[in-house]
Amino acid sequence: METVKLICIGCPMGCDLSVDLENGVPVSVTGNTCPIGKKYAEEEVTAPKRTVTSTALSKDGVPVPVKTAGTVPKGAIFAVVSDVKKAKPSLPVRIGDVIVPDAAGTGVPVVATKDVSR
Ligand code: SF4
């Protein structure tokens, strides 16, 4: 039996989580105050995911803040950022506009997080 200690990132409470694993499979989670912590812990020890924030440069060279519209596998973060760097959105950009439709083949789009004009 292996035990992994984590801090939940589900909300500012930051609960101390403890996950017991048997052969890499989570069998119990303790320390969570709500179900989000249990789900986070189980996912973090088996298939960790993250929301990625970055900045794209418009065709005019103006920075456009962006983020993934959902979480992507942690191992895909650098590929997602690479796709963002290749994107050259035309201005104006509105908050929520899709900048990369399918970031690194994850099926998750990257969207603008701010209105940006020239
Ligand atoms: S377990 Fe629930 S209450 Fe605790 S940090 Fe995570 S989301 Fe917040």
Same domain? For 108 and 67 the reply is yes
The range of the structural domain enclosing residue 20 comes to 2-46
Tokens of 112: 């603008």
Q: Would you say the CB of residue 58 lies under 6 angstroms from ligand 1?
A: no
How many Å apart are CA 118 and CA 116, to the nearest integer?
Answer: 7
Same domain (yes/no): 38, 77:
no
Over residues 70-93, the pLDDT tens digits come to: 999 999 999 999 999 999 999 999
Find out whether the beta carbon of 35 lies less than 6 Å from any atom of ligand 1: no
Is there a domain that residue 83 lies in? yes
Assess whether the C-beta atom of 34 lies below 6 angstroms from ligand 1: yes
State whether 61 and 107 are in the same domain: yes
Considering the domain architecture, whether residues 59 and 106 belong to the same structural domain is answered as: yes
39/79 same-domain check = no
Give how many domains the chain has, as a whole number. Answer: 2
Question: CA-CA distances (angstroms) from residue 92 to 3, 14, 71, 102?
Answer: 50, 38, 26, 21
pLDDT per residue as tens digits for the range 34-82: 999 999 999 999 999 999 999 999 999 999 999 999 999 999 999 999 9
Whole-model pTM: value is 0.81
Using a 6 Å cutoff on CB, does residue 25 contact ligand 1? no
Are 67 and 95 in a shared domain? Answer: yes
